[in-house]
Amino acid sequence: MTQSALAAYLHSHMPLSRAMAVSVVSANAMEVVLEAPLAPNLNMHGTMFGGSIANLALLAAWSVMHLRLEADQFAGQLVVGRSETDYLRPVSGPARALARLDGLDWDGFSRQLNRHGKARLTVTVEVLSDDQIAARLVGTFAAIAGSEAQI
């Protein structure tokens, strides 16, 4: 799935990503960078709603795992099981979420998935604004082979 295909996929399958005006800055099977502008994501203090910041990070983490699983020809679902977000500073402009798979034990995750039809992986995402880290999300996702509807 290319960069523009990922943007179209998110916007058509997840209406909230369209409401947040999420764009795909770059996307491949190792790293995904998503961006969201301030206006549709404002809070009552004139900065970015913490929920929007967390969503952007969650979508980036989901996307990079999705692209890598797609490259591995995995058929099934990828669902979030847990997320922890630290909000470190206010965001007063656009925000970028960077999700990377390097440094993670993808091979172990992949072996587990092939053996048991289910495996979990924890991905850390940084959200940057104005060249500073504004938030950090740690998300644990489960890949489930050929499964039914999940979150």
How far, CA to CA in Å, does 93 sit from each of 35, 89, 101? 11, 12, 26
Contact between 92 and 58 under an 8 Å Cβ cutoff? The reply is: no
**By C-beta, is 64 or 134 nearer to a second copy?**
134
Query: What gap in Å lies between CA 122 and CA 76, rounded to an integer?
Result: 18
**By C-beta, is 115 or 128 nearer to a second copy?**
128
Which tokens belong to 44?
């009552």
Q: Which residues bind a second copy (CB under 8 A)?
A: 9, 13-16, 19-20, 39-55, 58-59, 77, 79-87, 89-92, 134-135, 149-151
CB of 110 to a second copy, least distance (A): 21
CB of 107 to a second copy, least distance (A): 26
Per-residue DSSP letters for 16-35?
HHHHTT-EEEEE-SSEEEEE
Ramachandran bin of 50, using left for φ above 0, alpha for ψ from -120 to 50, beta for the remaining angles: alpha
**By C-beta, is 4 or 111 nearer to a second copy?**
4
**By C-beta, is 11 or 102 nearer to a second copy?**
11
